[in-house]
């Protein structure tokens, strides 16, 4: 079975710190990559998509290395509001009766971040 | 837009009981999904649907059934509840081919005693 592996965490960092999350995936046919954020007892929400060229959204930077099957998320100048669990998510072909072109998301177990005052 | 809504929010079942978890989306998405999330674990796909009338098994379908009679609704049925089905259940939807963002409902917390 295809896997998505993340740092187990938890990460406890002071406000203002820079923190990096790493993720590896095993299915080389994976097409799309994401970081989701999940607050305690809430649903996951998309934080950002990850592109081969790397992409940045404010304090958040995501990188993808297809050759190494590795994804990263960097958070700069951590805020208390960044405290959450960060899920690495990979979109891969699912096959099944739905046929070619069907995809499903495979989720990592998540890395919990606590930003401390 | 309400997005993805799920009912109920919480439920306690006795072993052997049955129930249906409701999921509705108002974004006209073709793709819908049911996941379960156990403590400290990643989300596991139970069933998914690529459109009305089409459903397919995910990673952990045993003990569950689904139907998709309309674009908006994707109910999940538990026929004979077991303690192993104690979990948080999330419904999600996406627009096309699963390459885009999935939008999740708030979840249903189910306990089977």
Task: For A25-58, write each residue's pLDDT tens digit.
Answer: 998 888 889 999 999 999 999 999 998 888 999 9
Distance from CA of B1 to the nearest CA of A (A): 16
Task: Report the percentage of chain B scoring pLDDT > 90.
Answer: 84
* Secondary structure string (H, E, C) spanning A58-116: CCEEEEEECCCCEEEEEECCCCHHHCEEEEEEEEEECCCCCCCCCEEEEECCCEEEEEE
Tell me the three state secondary structure of residue B9. coil
Average pLDDT taken over every residue of chain B? 93
Contact predicate A88/A32, CB 8 Å: no
Tell me the three state secondary structure of residue A10. coil
pLDDT computed for residue A95 by the predictor: 61
Out of A46, A94, A96, closest to residue B101 by CB: A46
Interface probe, candidates A10, A34, A42, A43, chain B, greatest B C-beta count within 10 A: A43
Task: Evaluate if residue A62 carries a pLDDT over 90.
Answer: yes
Chain B contact for A110, CB < 8 A? yes
Mean pLDDT of A98-108: 72
Q: Which residue of B has its CA nearest to A42?
A: B106
pLDDT computed for residue A97 by the predictor: 56
Task: Evaluate if residue B91 carries a pLDDT over 80.
Answer: yes
At residue B99 the predicted structure's pLDDT band, cuts being 50, 70 and 90, is: low
User: Cα separation of A31 and A90, whole Å?
Assistant: 8
Please indicate whether, in this complex, the C-beta atoms of B45 and A105 are within 8 angstroms of each other: yes
Q: Which residues of B25-58 are buried (b: 16+ CB within 10 A; e: fewer)?
A: beeebbbbbbbbbeeeebbbbbbbbbebeebbbb
Task: Evaluate if residue A16 carries a pLDDT over 70.
Answer: yes
Average pLDDT taken over every residue of chain A? 90
Give the residue with greater pLDDT, A13 vs A91.
Answer: A13
At residue B98 the predicted structure's pLDDT band, cuts being 50, 70 and 90, is: low
Contact predicate B6/B21, CB 8 Å: yes
Contacts of residue A75, Cβ cutoff 8 Å, sequence gap at least 6: A18, A19, A20, A21, A59, A60, A82, A113
Nearest to A22 by CA among A8, A36, A6, A2: A6
Please indicate whether, in this complex, the C-beta atoms of A104 and B40 are within 8 angstroms of each other: no
Q: Which residue of B has its CA nearest to A35?
A: B101
Task: Evaluate if residue B111 carries a pLDDT over 80.
Answer: yes
């Amino acid at each position: 079975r295809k896997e998505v592996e993340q740092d187990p965490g938890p990460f406890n960092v002071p406000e203002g710190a820079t923190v990096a999350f790493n993720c590896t995936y095993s299915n080389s046919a994976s097409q799309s990559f994401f970081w989701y954020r999940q607050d305690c007892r809430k649903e996951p929400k998309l934080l950002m998509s990850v592109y081969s060229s790397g992409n940045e959204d404010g304090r958040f930077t995501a990188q993808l290395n297809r050759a190494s099957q590795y994804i990263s998320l960097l958070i700069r100048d951590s805020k208390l509001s960044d405290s959450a669990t960060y899920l690495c998510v990979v979109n891969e072909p699912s096959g099944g009766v739905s046929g070619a072109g069907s995809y499903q998301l495979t989720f990592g177990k998540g890395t919990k971040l606590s930003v401390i005052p | 837009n309400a997005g993805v809504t799920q009912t109920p929010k919480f439920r306690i079942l006795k072993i052997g009981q049955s129930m249906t978890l409701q999921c509705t989306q108002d974004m006209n998405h073709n793709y819908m999904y049911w996941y379960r999330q156990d403590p400290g674990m990643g989300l596991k796909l139970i069933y998914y649907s690529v459109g009305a009338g089409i459903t397919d098994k995910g990673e952990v379908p045993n003990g569950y059934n689904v139907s998709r009679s309309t674009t908006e609704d994707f109910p999940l049925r538990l026929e004979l509840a077991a303690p192993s089905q104690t979990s948080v259940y999330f419904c999600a939807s996406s627009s096309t081919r699963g390459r885009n963002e999935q939008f999740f409902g708030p979840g249903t917390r189910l306990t089977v005693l």
